[in-house]
């Protein structure tokens, strides 16, 4: 699997809107629990993005 294939299949990078839209689709489908993980080396930035932008947008 290439980086491009991953980027096409999952929300990647610091665009909080892309992450929110992806997770909202799961919520709209009735799921109430979703696990997320960073697939790159920027773990701290990933956690900060979710803390500051993604999770508040989904609350």
pLDDT for 26 = 94
**Entry pTM:** 0.85
**Nearest-angstrom CA–CA distance, 12 and 19:** 8
What contacts 5, CB < 8 A, 6 or more positions away? none
pLDDT for 31 = 94
Which range marks the domain in which residue 12 is found? 3-58
- The number of domains in the chain is 1
Q: Tell me: the pLDDT tens digits for 6-54? A: 888 889 899 999 999 999 999 999 999 999 999 889 999 999 999 999 9
């Amino acid at each position: 699997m290439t980086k491009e294939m991953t980027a096409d299949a999952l929300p990647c990078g610091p665009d909080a809107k892309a992450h929110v839209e992806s997770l909202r689709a799961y919520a709209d489908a009735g799921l109430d629990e979703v696990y997320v993980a960073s697939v790159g080396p920027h773990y701290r930035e990933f956690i900060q993005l979710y803390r500051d932008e993604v999770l508040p947008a989904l609350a």
